[in-house]
Amino acid sequence: MKTALLLLSLALFMALFSGVYTCDPDGNNQPDCRNSTNLQVKIRNFWDPTRYWWCDSVGSQAAVAITCEDDIGEPSGFDSSLRKCVSWNNWSWTWPCA
């Protein structure tokens, strides 16, 4: 009986965890700035490869979309694996939820 209760609790936890932390490839991936793990971290914007999301402080209203630019002010792409802006020669599209 205890084992069944433990397994049921574990299954419920996993269902809640996967429901909250699933990636939505159709969304823009704008983070919740009330969550401290999103603070001052460059987060990929799914809808615009030339921008990334930025949360400056806890409780700020919404994440700000920052435009990537190279040294001479030309647009560049955001590389989510490196978490930085790179030139178009080094940028390649990746699946949003990979």
Which pLDDT does position 63 carry in this prediction? 93
Q: Name the pTM for this structure.
A: 0.73
Query: Is it the case that residue 71 has pLDDT exceeding 60?
Result: yes
Residue 1 lies in a domain: no
Residue 11 lies in a domain: no
Mean pLDDT of the residues in the chain: 82
Neighbours of 67 (CB within 10 A): 13
- The pLDDT-based confidence of 10 (bands split at 50, 70, 90) is low
Residue 8 lies in a domain: no
Neighbours of 51 (CB within 10 A): 19
Residue 5 lies in a domain: no
Surface-to-core class of residue 12, CB atoms within 10 Å of its CB (0-12 exposed, 13-18 middle, 19+ buried): exposed
Count of the separate structural domains present in the chain: 1
Residue matched to tokens 């490196």:
82
- Supply the range of the domain harboring residue 44: 28-98
pLDDT single digits (tens) 17-58 = 444 558 999 999 999 998 889 999 999 999 999 999 999 887
